[in-house]
Amino acid sequence: MEMLLMFVLALLPILWLVLALCGMKMEAWKASLGALLVSAVLGIFVWKMTPYNAFTAALEGMAMAIWPIVIVIIAAVFTYNLTVHTGAMETIKGMLTSVSSDMRVLVLLIGWCFGGFLEGMAGFGTAVAIPASMLMALGFDPITAILACLIANGVPTMFGSIGIPTTTLASITALDPTNLALMQALQVAPFVIITPFLMVMLVGGGPKALKGVLPITLITGVVVSVAEIAAAAFIGADLPMVVAAVAALIVTFLVALKMKGEVPAEYALETPKSDEVLTPKKALTAWAPFILIFVVLVLTSKLVPFINGPLSSIKTTVNIYKGDPAATLTFTWINTPGVLILICGIVGGIIQGCPFGEMMGVLGATCKQMSKTILTMLAVLGCAKIMGYSGMIASIAAFFVNTLGGFYPLMAPVLGALGTFVTGSGTSSEVLFGSVQQQAAAAIGANEYWLCAANSLGVSAGKMLSPQSIAIGTASCGLVGKDGEVLGKIAPYAFGFVIIMALLIQGGVMLGLGM
């Protein structure tokens, strides 16, 4: 009875978030501050944290929110805003719609392929902020653009930021990272293939939207899945999503160019009319910030160790949470996506001929635009740290492990989703629940790779629902305050995913695949 009570109490910050956002239609920053307060009260009075420890736990979460997450969001949205300010976005729109004016094809190219690349290289919200704002600029309904990118951003998360969630999970559990990555890629494969179909049906208003684009929709999903499995098996945990996204971008682009026939009026986007001849120089100038982002993120990644190593060594490690001297937080000052994207945005602006003063004006306007989102990030991460350090997350996990027994695999992806919902981070979910999954596997005699990979699988569903991800999307499309509406509309997709994931993991154990 006591375990049940602690489980219910531990869920209160999460339940408050859902109620405040969906039921009370509260702005995300207000709802998140409420969740922070609820977690602090519970941490102090129920889980017996000292007020000072609760304060420093929240402070650590807020520091983590600012660096690297907030800096990434500001940099990504600034880059987009600058391309709009310089007029380069009109050129980009014209080029993209020259490949296809079909919104169903464009959502695959930008939201799925390009977004997958951004997640694989950078993560931290870039795969929602940049593609969603680009789709909106092309004429997509802003809510639809956000939803499409949230759906697309789910399945790549386990291999985001050069595989950090997976390598972190492997480190925590002492599992072989290559074998773990392969198990993850195999488990997520059905969801990778189905995601482009969901995106097309979302933007096209239902299954009828698949008519005429069924081949390209199937091809782009299969290419990502096959490339991801191959990269996981032969390269390891770092690059599956990068390899898969680049392969899918090339193949999807070529298939789109070869597609024949008129685009149905209901799916056609208005092509920008211009008498100006598009020269290679003009095209390169317009795309300069995004080309720079691509090149710089590759050159500073683990793919180029002689650059990555020295830049990554410019860092500071501190102990903020005073309840555990071993709990440290490391700030990487140069080789972090936010700093690199911000530099690329500024250099891109210079290439486009934008005066430095105007760029700083755009940056200032971007920070003002993102102010409520920043408050949301601070509160959500502060809440997550209090829940983790106080023992609330452990209480939730213990309840599932001790009450479900052989049916625990049903909950393995649910925990992964829950961890990502609370923290907004696949890596944090692996940290919170990776060891729990491994211990549960030992207790019920299941394959530890199967259940640990199931945590990463659940991350895919939790990422869609995360208030942090939603806040990034609404801020990038100028819809601050619409978080509750987006949450209500994305929830059916996320819940559908997590139910199927739970059945898949339980079925795998019962059939002996996870034993």
Q: Residue 168: is its pLDDT beyond 80?
A: no
CA distance 219 to 249: 11
Mean pLDDT of 143-169: 87
Helix ranges (H only) for 300-423 are 305-312, 337-351, 356-369, 371-390, 392-404, 412-423
122 — pLDDT class (breaks 50, 70, 90): low
Query: Is 208 part of any domain?
Result: yes
Q: Residue 207: is its pLDDT beyond 70?
A: yes
CA distance 45 to 257: 62
Q: What is the share, in percent, of the chain residues with pLDDT greater than 70?
A: 97
Phi, psi of 275 (to 5 degrees): -85, -5
Cα–Cα nearest to 17, from 427, 416, 383:
383
403-420 residue pLDDT tens:
887 888 998 999 889 888
pLDDT at residue 310, as a whole number: 94
Query: Is 179 part of any domain?
Result: yes
Mean pLDDT of 62-68: 84
Query: Is 274 part of any domain?
Result: no
Q: 65 lies in which domain range?
A: 2-267+280-511
pLDDT at residue 148, as a whole number: 94
pLDDT at residue 275, as a whole number: 59
Q: Residue 287: is its pLDDT beyond 70?
A: yes
Query: Is 455 part of any domain?
Result: yes
CA 128 and chain centroid, separation: 7
Give Cβ neighbours of residue 156 (< 8 Å, ≥ 6 apart). 115, 116, 119, 120, 127, 241, 244, 245
51 — pLDDT class (breaks 50, 70, 90): very high
94 CB neighbour count, 10 Å cutoff: 17
Cα–Cα nearest to 43, from 321, 326, 391, 384:
391
Give Cβ neighbours of residue 275 (< 8 Å, ≥ 6 apart). none
- Per the structure, how many domains does the chain have? 1
Query: Is 272 part of any domain?
Result: no
pLDDT at residue 419, as a whole number: 80
Cα–Cα nearest to 192, from 240, 136, 237:
240
DSSP code at position 67: I
CA distance 136 to 157: 23
Phi, psi of 56 (to 5 degrees): -70, -30
Burial string for 213-235 (b: 16+ CB within 10 Å, else e) reads beebbebbbbbbbbbbbbbbeee
Angle, CA of 290, 291 and 297, to the nearest 5°: 85
For residue 217, give the 3-state DSSP assignment.
helix
Cα–Cα nearest to 96, from 349, 348, 271, 273:
271
305-333 residue pLDDT tens:
899 899 999 999 999 999 999 988 889 89
Cα–Cα nearest to 237, from 290, 326, 171:
171
CA distance 381 to 424: 8
Span of 54-58, 217-221, 382-386, 491-495 with lowest mean pLDDT:
382-386
124 — pLDDT class (breaks 50, 70, 90): low
CB 40 within 8 A of CB 53: no
Mean pLDDT of 340-365: 94
422-458 residue pLDDT tens:
777 777 778 777 777 887 888 788 888 999 999 999 9
513 — pLDDT class (breaks 50, 70, 90): low
pLDDT at residue 459, as a whole number: 92
Query: Is 273 part of any domain?
Result: no
Mean pLDDT of 225-249: 87
User: What angle do helix axes 2-18 and 371-390 make, rounded to 10 degrees?
Assistant: 180
CA distance 371 to 313: 31
What is the identity of the amino acid at 159? F
Token pair 């430095």 is found at 356
Where is pLDDT greater, at 514 or 450? 450
What is the identity of the amino acid at 165? P
pLDDT at residue 313, as a whole number: 93
Cα–Cα nearest to 82, from 346, 303, 314:
346
Span of 128-137, 193-202, 256-265, 278-287 with lowest mean pLDDT:
256-265
SS (H, E, C) 427-492: HHHHHHHHHHHHHHHHHHCCCHHHHHHHHHHHHHHHHHHCHHHHHHHHHHCCCCCCHHHHHHHHHH
pLDDT at residue 31, as a whole number: 85
